[in-house]
Amino acid sequence: MTGLTVLPLATLVGPVSVAHYLVVGAVLFVAGVACMAVKRNALGVLMGIELVLNGANVNFVAFASPYLQADGARSLGLDGQIIALFVILLAAAEAAVALAITLNFYNNHATVDVDRADDLKG
Amino acid sequence: MDPAVRLPLLLGLAWLVPLASFVAILFFGPRMGKHGKNAAWVATAAIVTSLMLSLMAAGTWLAVHPVTAPAHGHHGDAHAAAGQDEHGGHAAGHHGHAADAPPAYSGDWYTLYQGGKLKLSIGWYIDSLTVLMFVVVAFIATCIHVYASGYMHDELHDVTDHEVHLSTGGHLHRPGRFPRFFQALSLFCFSMFGIVIAGNLAMVFVFWELVGICSWFLIGFYYERKSASNAANKAFIVNRVGDFGMLIGLMALWGALGTLQFTDMFAAVRPAPDHALVVPASMTNWLLFIAGVGIFCGCVGKSAQFPLFVWLPDAMEGPTPVSALVHSATMVAAGVYLVGRFFPVLSPDVLLVIAYTGAITLFIAATIALVANDIKRVLAYSTVSQLGYMMLALGVGGWVAGLFHLVTHAFFKSLLFLCSGSVIHACHTNDMRKMGGLARVMPWTAYTMLVGCLAIIGAGIPFVIGLSGYYSKDSILAQALSFAQANPRHSVLFYAVAGGAALTAFYMFRLWFMTFAGEPRDHHVHEHAHESPTVMVAPLVVLSVLAVAAGWTIGTFGIANLLEQARPAGTAEGLTGGFAFGQTLTYPAEHLSHAEAIHRAATWTAFGTALAGVALAAVMYLWRLVSPDVVATIFRPVYAFLAGRWYFDELYKAIFVVPALGIAQLASGADRGIIDRIIDGLAWTARGLAGIDAWIDRTLVDGLVNATANATWNAGIALKRLQTGRLRQYVVFIALATVALFVLASLFMRVSHAG
Amino acid sequence: MIPTLAAIDWHAVFFLLFAAVACGGAIAVVAADNVVRMALYLVLSLGATAGLFFLAGAEFVGAMQLMIYVGGTLVLLVFGVMLTAQAPFVSIKTTAGDRALATIVGLGLFGLLVTAGLSVEAWRQPGSHRLTEPAATPIGMALVGVRVDAPPANAPAAAVRSGYLLPFEIVSVHLLVVLVGAAYLARAKRRKTPRAIEVAASAEPPTAVAEHAAIGRSAGRAASVLTGGSV
């Protein structure tokens, strides 16, 4: 139980480490999830998705950075950065398609409220 | 062509052609012309073909085996007498010299089953007897087919049967059954040929039964009539009684000898070289006796011998051509034929049984015929009586005499029946008391029938010439006398024959006088009477010619000499033995009866008795010097006894039918009262159990299944609510589930590490 | 005691700065109701994230983040916002219950992630602060299939490292397909659109709009939409 309750939060006060980035990534990720959960506007949901992807990207970059790693620790190296790049690219593609869908939805239903998009409800 | 190939081919074809006709009429009969009129042509053409083939076979036979006078000069009376003493008390007579086997061809067309020695096959056994029987059966059948195509013309249109009273008070009205009649006739011919050509006893038995079923069809042709259907059933059932004995005989033979082939059986019982009767190592005296008596039992049924003769008079319910063909000339001859064919295997004791059976039969039947008033019944009892003659002849060792009489009787009895049919056709009644004086209106019928009557009583000028019956009956009398001289204790057999001859003469001429002579008794009948059409008279003329001439021997050719060719090996020598009746029996060789003294005595006896019988008939019925009614009144008990047909039917009814019905009633009662109750109870129990089962099924099993289904359904309904279609909720669920998953996983790992 | 300028760990300072802006922006996106503002906060957050990438030594990724996200994706989003920014949809409020639930779940998730992130000892070690080579060239070479970067420390010497030519090509085709698909999806469909255009062009009261929009739906649901979205 100690691992769950007593977090080594003190680390965050020290020099910048991977853990710092991880916390920032967690904040972005959770904010993105919350954004998807809360926003009724389809565009808000899309923004939440962007945030989630960014949170993941922060983690990739952190793991890939020898600058943040302790000496001798293993890092992803260049691979992490390249994956982050791919994520950015795919996010762009996703944004384009999602926006097109949103516009279509708007054209058909005259709204961007995702709560109204329940035609397939059981 | 080799006769061994040609004879089976010709006779086999002659055998199968009627089957083809039967099949054709069976399937296409009603479509053969109007009301199946052409079925008669088909059947007649078939039987004529058979006749032609049979005649060709006869020609083939005669070309190879010319008929010669019997050659028995090489041994005489003294020799036979000497042989009797040597082997007294032994089942087999043995004369110690070689005898030639008769010419015969035997083989198999098709083997149904063969395992070890046991063999079931469709085969042939052809000797001169076979050929002769083929010709006789085919010839008589041809005449009767022609005759029937005229006689049965009523069946060509709808028939109103005046003898069937419906509950509505009217008479039965039914379509004609012309093709059906000829279909059954064809099947009958096929079956009869099958018996004659058969190469083994199993095949004989099969066709024996087929003949029985044909008889059943034909007797019951007017099956709407209660009497006809009863008569058909009676004939069939009584024959079954005899067949039961026959089956026992078959089993005894098969069990002991391992074969039913005639040739093998003959070889086993009468081994070469001298063919004297010996008991095979695998049999005992008694078994041989039982086998012989068993086979004879079948013949008793089929040939209407005492005590199974009761069916034959009733069988006259069938149409008259049927009576002529089936119940006088051929089918009933099958029994005699089989005894003749099986003769080599019969031991002296069996022969004695046969002889006495024949004697009793001939006497009983002749006495009943004295008082019968139904023209067909007189002839039926006459047939029974004549069959008794044949059996008696065979039973006293007269192989040729018995079969000779079989052939001649076939001719004149079919003639007599056809004549009676012609009379019935003209008068529409069977009752002789309503006839009289018919000779004037139907002379052809009257005089051909007179020929038949003369033939059956054996008329002739002694030692010069005679009708066919003269020769055959004389040879029977001679053999009986010969036997009686050799076995004085059994001389009653000779007296039976002699007395029977007198009775025969009396009742036959009583019939003729009552029918054709004198003044008409019933003018209504007389006025409507007319001569029958040519198609019916022509067969009468043809048959009457044969009834006259069938017994003649021209040069060396004659039926008696032809039969002599087929005499089974060893039987020419006479037979001595016997164990079953505690005495030694001596069967004199048949040629001994041709001795001058015996022959002369027999001829004079026959002539005297026949003359006496005719004279008495003339006194009572032609000149009416003595009124038959007065005689009947004087001998009232005897008359009643005879008119009641010795009360055999009543006796059998009391002994067999009533107890059988009683047992049936008892069984029916037991069936209803006990078995049905039990079964009903079981059914009720089963139903109750089924009810419980159904309840369990509905409540428990169905309930379980339904509960499962309902639970699933409800779960589905409940879970449906989760599918809100709300994107945001899903996101929350995903996040929540992820958290929960991680928390649970970590808890689990912690626990498992701790454990 | 005032530390000298040189003693200040500037890296840490900028990290804190960018981290604060990124996190704050992200939370502001969640908190904001107006979609236009949300877009603005998102720009801030993503931009700050790019700064974090620079700080981590991934200058090429940071540049791409700025160019593609901030310069491309967000512009796209803003176009979307502008295209759909009709009065009723600019800010659609959610119920307090939803917000509370999302908050609770979000906190739970956050706790989980942080716990996981801090539970590994190696990740808590202070960074080596070892400056790295510029990453643009190795990335470019890797994307055409040639690896020129040094293998990571402690990597097995014999390990074969492949380039990213194939994924690169896949992503290229993917982008092309997405471009075509998006253009197809978003093209103006005259047959389908008149209602929306009519709605957008008219100055009718919101009730009428809602009723027009509620073709084939129940009136009750339309009303709830209306009450939820009319601010």
CATH code, A102: 1.10.287.3510
Residue ranges, chain C, pLDDT below 70: 1-6, 85, 87, 89-90, 151-160, 188-231
Higher pLDDT, B39 or B170: B39
Domain count for chain A, please give it.
1
Residue A116 lies in a domain: no
Which among B728, B736, B742 has CB closest to C98? B728
The better pLDDT of the pair B70, B616 is held by: B616
Residues in chain B: 755
pLDDT at A28: 94
Mean pLDDT of B724-746: 86
Q: What is the pLDDT of residue B579?
A: 76
Residue A6, in any domain of the structure: no
Q: Chain A, 17-36: which have a CB under 8 Å from a chain C CB?
A: 17-35
**pLDDT less than 50: residues of chain A:** 1-5
Q: Which of A35, A120, A121 to mutate to test the interface with B (most CBs of B within 10 A)?
A: A121
Distances A88 to A53, A54, C116 between C-alpha atoms, Å: 8, 8, 25
Across chain B, mean pLDDT equals: 83
Note whether B735 contacts C116, CB cutoff 8 Å: no
Chains that touch C (3 or more CB pairs under 8 A): A, B
The answer to whether residue A86 sits within a structural domain is: yes
- C26 contacts A28? CB cut-off 8 A: yes
* C-alpha to C-alpha distance for B503 and B369, rounded to whole angstroms: 9
Task: Determine whether the interchain pair C102/A34 forms a contact, defined as Cβ–Cβ distance below 8 Å.
Answer: yes
What is the model's pLDDT at position A4?
44
Residue A121: inside a domain: no
Whole-number pLDDT of residue B686 = 94
Report the amino acid identity of residue B307: P
In whole angstroms, how far apart are CA B715 and each of B498, B570, B709, B710? 110, 102, 10, 8
At residue C152, the 3 state secondary structure works out as: coil
pLDDT, residue B520, reads 79
Of residues A80 and B1, more confidently modeled: A80
What does DSSP say about strands B118-126 and B105-115: parallel, antiparallel, or unpaired? antiparallel
Residue type, B347: S
Residues 59-98 in C contacting B (C-alpha not used; CB under 8 Å): 94, 98
Q: Classify residue A25: in a domain, yes or no.
A: yes
Rounded to whole angstroms, the Cα distance separating B603 from B473 reads 9
Would you state the pLDDT for residue B624? 78
Which region among B356-370, B599-613, B624-638 has the lowest average model confidence (pLDDT)?
Answer: B624-638
User: With left for phi above 0 and alpha for psi between -120 and 50, is residue B578 left, alpha or beta?
Assistant: left
Residue C218: the pLDDT is 42
In the predicted model, is pLDDT for residue B127 greater than 50?
yes
Neighbours of C115 (CB within 10 A): 18
In a domain, A115, yes or no: no
What's the predicted TM-score (pTM) here? 0.61
Whether residue B746 and residue A4 make contact (CB cut-off 8 A), yes or no, is yes
pLDDT of residue B632: 79
Mean pLDDT of B177-190: 89
Which pLDDT does position C187 carry in this prediction?
Answer: 76
Answer whether residue B211 shows pLDDT above 80. yes
**Residue in C with minimal Cα distance to A60:** C53
Measure CA C40 to chain center. 12
Q: Please check the confidence at residue B663 and state whether its pLDDT lies above 70.
A: yes
Question: Using a CB-CB distance cutoff of 8 angstroms, which residues of chain A are in contact with residue B716?
Answer: none
B109 has a pLDDT exceeding 80: yes
* Phi, psi torsion values for B704, nearest 5 degrees: -60, -50
Residue predicted with more confidence, C216 or B67: B67
What confidence score (pLDDT) does residue C19 get? 92
Domain ranges of chain B: 357-643, 724-755
Chain A environment of C193 (Cβ under 8 Å): 107
pLDDT for residue A58 = 93
Q: C-alpha dihedral over B52, B55, B60, B62, to 10 degrees? A: -170
Rounded to 5°, the CA angle C161-C166-C170 comes to 145
From chain C, the residues in CB contact with B735 under 8 A are 105-106, 108-109
Cα C111 to Cα A26, B480, C136: the distances in Å are: 9, 136, 36
The answer to whether C11 faces chain A, any CB pair under 8 Å, is yes
The parent domain of residue A103 ranges over: 17-66+75-110
For residue range C15-25, what is the model confidence (pLDDT) as tens digits?
Answer: 999 999 999 99
| Cα gap C183→B267, rounded to integer Å | 112
Nearest to B728 by CA among C83, C95, A102, C31: C95
In this predicted structure, the answer to whether residue B609 has a pLDDT above a threshold of 90 is no
Give burial (CB, 10 Å; 0-12/13-18/19+) of A68.
buried
pLDDT value of residue C199: 54
Using a CB–CB cutoff of 8 Å, tell me whether C118 touches chain A.
Answer: yes
> Which chain A residues have a beta carbon less than 8 Å from that of C99?
38
Residues in chain A: 122
- Residue at A46 is within a domain: yes
Both tokens assigned to C152: 């990571």
Per DSSP, the residues of B443-473 read HHHHHHHHHHHHHHHT-EETTTEE-HHHHHH
Residue environment code for B312-340, b if the CB has 16+ CB neighbours within 10 A, otherwise e: bbbbbbbbbbbbbbbbbbbbbbbbbbbbb
Interface mutation target, options B726, B742, B749, chain C, most CBs of C under 10 Å: B742
Q: Is A11 part of a structural domain of the chain?
A: no
Closest CB from A32, A44, A116 relative to C38: A44
Residue B244 has pLDDT above 70, yes or no: yes
Under the banding of pLDDT at 50, 70 and 90, the label for residue B75 is very low
Rounded distance between C-alpha atoms, residue B295 and residue B290, angstroms: 8
- The conformation of residue C151, written as its DSSP 8-state character, comes to P
What is the C-alpha R_g of chain A?
19
Q: What is the mean pLDDT of residues B462-477?
A: 83
Q: What is the pLDDT of residues B704-718, one digit of tens each?
A: 999 999 999 999 988
ipTM above 0.85, yes or no: yes
> What whole-number distance in Å separates Cα of residue B470 and Cα of residue B478?
12
pLDDT tens readout for residues B459-468: 777 777 788 8
pLDDT at B311 over 90: no
- Top-confidence residue, B735 or B102: B735
